[in-house]
Amino acid sequence: MKRVLAVAMLMAMVGVPLFAIDIKLAHVVNEQDAFHLAATKFKELTEKYTNGEVKVTIFPNAVLGDERTLLERMKMGIVDAGVITSGPFVNFVPKFGVVDMPFLFRDAEHAYKVLDGPIGDKLFADLEPQGWKGLAWAERGFRNLTNNKRPINKPEDVAGLKIRLMQNPIYVDSFKALGANAVPMAWTEALTALQQHTIDGQENPLNVIVSFKLYESQKYLAITRHAYAPAPIIMSMMTWKKLTPAQQTAVLKAAREAAQYERDYDNQNEAGWLKELADKGMVITRPDLSAFLKAVKPVYDTYSDKFGKDLINAILETK
């Protein structure tokens, strides 16, 4: 017993934690995806800033469930943390869907100013009663449309295509407004459906199209940038409350730096991804978006009352 106490005292003196908290952090994509980059940077920085008091174990590839399942399991404390696309949150916090409005953000800088400011802070605060602590806004990025039927240059080209979407009513309504046959489904199911050609296409940022080799099943890519998808790094409130104030500060710092690291990676690699997709044989079009904006106006009419015109206008007017 004396020897155990002596070892414990020595560990404490040199700053080695006696008991580490092990956080299970999950996401649904593969290790080549930018989400995994954010997750590994978060792990590195969390362990550094807490001097090893908080450990992070990463579970990629949806091994702990799809995104909606991960959110539910975080509510229960079964999963501790995750990097989650913003879309599934609307099933629990409807107002969160404001960030998914079509063509809402002008560019990445506009999105970052909104999300890193008071609007983003308020959206994170709205998650807490549901059992989640918002740590930082990583990103899925600006979403673009792919399909295996035809090039997309105008809204009429989208009409009739079976397009996989996230399980998010705003995305569904947006693509219905464009005339698509909207098919909401989990990403894990979508990959099989794309390979088997039971759906015609999907929409995602370039990093997803590259990392999942969608050029093998999708011939056409349209740079529509129709939605900007944040990817909150979040933690179960049950886990968050187990951390000391000093650990909470360190985890927040780690998450915000990891999110910025992933944003920088996306922005630096966009041109290279486009070239790679073209080299792989994808036909890339850059539609004039004015007609697309006109086509989705009914979506704004539908959701303005739900989210509040003031909130939507505050986002649009952020400089």
**What is the DSSP secondary-structure string of 56-78?**
EEEE-TTTT--HHHHHHHHHTTS
Using the predicted structure, report yes or no on whether residue 116 has a pLDDT greater than 90. Answer: yes
Write the pLDDT tens digit of every residue in 68-102: 999 999 999 999 999 999 888 988 998 899 999 99
pLDDT of residue 90: 86
Percentage of residues in the chain having pLDDT higher than 90? 84
Q: What residues contact residue 206 under an 8 Å CB cut-off, 6+ apart?
A: 141, 144, 270, 273, 274, 277
C-alpha 147: how far from chain center: 22
Domain boundaries, the chain: 20-317
Q: Is the pLDDT of residue 4 over 60?
A: no
Mean pLDDT for the chain overall: 92
Query: For the residues of 247-261, what is the DSSP string, one character each?
Result: HHHHHHHHHHHHHHH
What pLDDT is attached to residue 11?
43
| Amino acid 1: pLDDT | 47
Please write the tens of the pLDDT for every residue from 21-75.
999 999 999 898 899 999 999 999 999 999 999 999 999 999 999 999 999 999 9
Confidence of residue 3 (pLDDT cuts 50, 70, 90): low
* Residue 2 predicted with pLDDT over 60: no
- Mean pLDDT value of segment 219-234: 96
Count of CB atoms situated within 10 Å of the CB of 33? 23
Give the CATH class of 20-317.
alpha beta
Summarize pLDDT for 148-173 with one digit per residue, the tens: 999 999 999 999 999 999 888 899 99
- How many helices and strands in the chain, by DSSP H and E? 14, 9
pTM of the model: 0.86
Q: Give just the sign of the alpha carbon dihedral 241, 247, 249, 252.
A: negative
Tell me what pLDDT residue 215 has. Answer: 97
Crossing angle of the two packed helices 297-307 and 309-317, in degrees rounded to 10: 110
β pairing state of 54-59 and 132-147: unpaired
Task: Identify the pLDDT of residue 192.
Answer: 94
Q: Note the pLDDT of residue 18.
A: 55
pLDDT average, residue stretch 174-191 = 94
Using CA atoms, how far apart are residues 29 and 34, in angstroms rounded to an integer? 9
Positive or negative CA dihedral for 263, 269, 275, 281?
negative
Rounded Cα distance, 227 and 79, in Å: 28
Give the model's confidence band at 6: pLDDT under 50 very low, under 70 low, under 90 confident, else very high.
Answer: very low
Distances (CA, A) of 62 to 82, 84, 108, 136: 11, 11, 27, 21
Note the pLDDT tens digit of each residue in 268-316.
999 999 999 999 999 999 999 999 999 999 999 999 888 989 999 999 9
